[in-house]
């Protein structure tokens, strides 16, 4: 039989010329997925990869313009629903929308998150603002728990499903972000373990992925706040809705900082790398993996490279 040519860099997997997997390797074929915060950054990479692997995807985000534009550009199997993950009715509606439109829910990715303000006053345990702490915890921790609640409810009916949340290396180590962010990301790792214990009885797997630095608008806004006194220091800037898209130069600078810290040399951590880890946990390739935190960090959390 005719064997299609394969790129040696893909280790023998079947990929076509555009980088899309051949049908045999569509790992989410016919599956229905929701990705929160899917309008840009890491979430956008997850949405794009899920679509390439045959999934029908609902993007759930507060950025209507970006979310709708991305959905429209990806064809009829991608929809957008406005959803603030810290508001329970929004999360419930996003899940109900996916189930009523596509008849089921197989994958829920809790990706939406905020970093919080980056000024030194905001970052210190001695001076942090309680309202700001609450805001970050509501989006990152409560938002993730609400995703698990409503996705779990929808998945139980078919005794099948995979919930994948985006934690962070700041969910494993201290000293990598503002206190609220670190607390919220540790909370996601804990919620993952707890929910895996409970939902496993219903055939539902629950895992998380912990990225190191990826040069997305989130990280670049934070970097701007740290380096430019005139950069906006408010919630809108954190969410990024009102902030200019990062320039190529800013992305390159950020990537260089991350490369200098990673143990693994010769590669740059990109949104697609996080998406590949999420895809593994979302698909049946990981059907016996639950309660796990898959760290994607170029070896940082297992090395001493962050010191100094
Ligand atoms: P980003 O700011 O570039 O994108 C986040 C997306 O989430 C945006 O589309 C935004 O509109 C949406 N969003 C924000 N608040 C929301 C809410 N309340 N409800 C629904 N949507 C909301 O960020 P990113 O870097 O792509 O981060 C994605 C996830 O990855 C976050 O959970 C983040 O904490 C995590 N993470 C990022 C990095 C990194 O270096 N970029 C590292 C570790 C973990």
Residue nearest to atom 11 of ligand 1 (CA): 63
| Centroid of ligand 1 to alpha carbon of 186 (angstroms) | 16
- Could you tell me which of 293, 270, 299, 274 has the C-alpha nearest to residue 50? 274
Query: Of 296, 272, 145, nearest to 206 (Cα)?
Result: 145
End-to-end CA separation in angstroms for the chain: 57
The residues pairing with 208 across neighbouring beta strands, listed in sequence order, are 165, 293
Q: Which residue bears the tokens 């939902």?
A: 199
What is the residue with the minimal CA distance to atom 31 of ligand 1? 113
Residue from 86, 113, 169 whose mutation best tests the ligand 1 pocket (most atoms within 8 A of CB): 113
How far is the C-alpha of 47 from the C-alpha of 35, rounded, in Å? 7
Q: What percent of the chain has a predicted confidence (pLDDT) above 70?
A: 89
Nearest protein Cα to ligand 1, atom 8: 37
CB neighbourhood size of 197 (10 A): 12
Which pLDDT tens digit goes with each residue over 256-306?
A: 989 998 889 999 999 999 999 999 999 999 999 999 999 999 999 998 766
Q: Is 181 annotated in the active site?
A: yes
State the pTM of this model.
0.92
Which tens digits make up the pLDDT trace of 106-160? 999 999 999 998 888 888 999 999 999 999 999 999 999 999 999 999 999 999 9
């Amino acid at each position: 039989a005719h064997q299609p040519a394969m790129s040696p860099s893909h280790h023998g997997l079947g990929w076509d010329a555009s980088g899309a997997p051949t049908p045999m390797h569509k790992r989410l074929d016919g599956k229905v997925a929701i990705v929160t915060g899917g309008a840009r950054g890491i979430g956008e990479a997850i949405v794009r990869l899920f679509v390439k692997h045959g999934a029908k995807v609902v993007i759930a985000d507060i950025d209507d313009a970006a979310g709708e534009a991305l959905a429209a550009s990806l064809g009829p199997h991608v929809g957008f629903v406005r959803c603030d993950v810290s508001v329970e009715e929004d999360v419930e509606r996003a899940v109900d929308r996916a189930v009523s439109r596509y008849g089921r829910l197989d994958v829920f990715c809790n990706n939406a998150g905020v970093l919080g303000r980056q000024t030194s006053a905001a970052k210190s345990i001695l001076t942090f603002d309680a309202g700001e702490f609450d805001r970050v915890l509501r989006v990152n921790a409560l938002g993730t728990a609400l995703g698990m609640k409503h996705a779990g409810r929808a998945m139980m009916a078919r005794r099948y499903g995979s919930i994948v949340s985006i934690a962070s290396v700041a969910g494993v180590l201290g000293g990598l972000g503002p206190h609220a962010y670190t607390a919220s990301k540790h909370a996601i790792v804990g919620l993952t373990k707890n929910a895996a214990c409970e939902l496993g009885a219903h055939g539902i797997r629950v895992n998380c992925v912990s990225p190191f630095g990826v040069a997305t608008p989130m990280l670049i806004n934070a970097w701007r706040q740290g380096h430019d006194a005139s950069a906006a220091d408010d919630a809108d800037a954190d969410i990024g809705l009102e902030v200019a898209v990062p320039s190529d130069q800013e992305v390159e600078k950020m990537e260089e900082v991350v490369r200098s810290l990673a143990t693994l040399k010769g590669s740059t951590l990109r949104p697609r790398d996080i998406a590949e880890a999420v895809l593994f946990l979302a698909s049946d390739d990981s059907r016996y993996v639950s309660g796990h935190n898959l760290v994607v960090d170029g070896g940082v959390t297992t090395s001493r490279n962050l010191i100094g």
